[in-house]
Amino acid sequence: MNRPLILALAATTALSTAGCAYNETLGRSQFLIVDDNALTQQSEAAWAQALRTQPTSSDAAANARVRRVGTRIVEAAGLTDRSWDYAVFVSQKPNAFVLPSGKIGVTTGLLALVRNDDQLAAVLGHEVGHVVARHAAERYSSTAATSLVLSGVQSAAGDYAKAAGAIGGLGAQLGVLLPFSRRHELEADRLGVDYMQRAGYRPSEAVALWRLMAEQRQGSTPEFASTHPSDASRIAALEQYIASQGWN
């Protein structure tokens, strides 16, 4: 084997050994070579940029609603040890996102879609679930390790480096990164339902929410090439989990 590739594989093996940690909330081990604190500065910069470059809603009722429901979910998740901030972004597309530093963005399109606070709690519970599960740090770690191996493959490929990089990059995405992201989404769904229930919201409304999302979605990406599970997959998983907890 080419020396650069050997070094890349050796480095990745060392990182994998050193960065393995057990997450009791998820019931599995995670590969982590960076912690959430290391991502805080990036998160804060990303949040400031979003507020600066994207239109936000001045609707006092909408903002108060997101903050009210979000606060209950955060308390249920036991994450009151950090400062949380919320914003409603003006966009017709139903969407929401979370940053590990404790920032949640929700679009006006999402608020128009949800039919009650329980469904909004399902969205916010899902986003907070990502933070509890340390998915951002795990995703960052996996991407960094994959990039390290691919750089070694390209160095070993010589004149074929460009082709190897393109093929290797696609294979890594479909075989490692995208499926892993789908796993994150399903874990966040489950944790979100837990937090909904603890906060006094109806877990069954998480299923109703995803049915609404499925109805309004135009077109779809095959699940094997998507960072998110199909609507049918996540609805089935939620129904099974809610039934197993006796929350029907």
Kindly report, residue by residue over 8-46, the tens digit of the pLDDT: 444 445 444 446 777 777 777 776 666 666 677 778 888
Q: In sequence order, what are the residues at sequence separation of 6 or more whose Cβ sits closer than 8 angstroms to the Cβ of residue 239?
A: 207
| Cα gap 54→111, rounded to integer Å | 17
- When pLDDT is cut at 50, 70 and 90, the band that residue 248 belongs to is confident
Q: Model's pTM, two decimal places? A: 0.74
**What is the domain count for the chain?**
1
pLDDT digits 0-9 by tens, 172-221:
444 444 455 778 889 999 999 999 999 999 999 999 999 998 888 766 65
Known catalytic residues are: 127
Domain carrying residue 172: 3-244
pLDDT digits 0-9 by tens, 113-159:
999 999 999 999 999 998 888 777 777 777 766 655 445 444 444 44
HSE-CB at 97 with a 13 A cutoff on CA atoms is: 9
Tokens of 164: 């190897």
CA-atom Rg of the chain in angstroms? 20
- When pLDDT is cut at 50, 70 and 90, the band that residue 163 belongs to is very low
Element (H, E) at 224: none
CA dihedral 22→246→223→101, nearest 10 degrees, is: -50
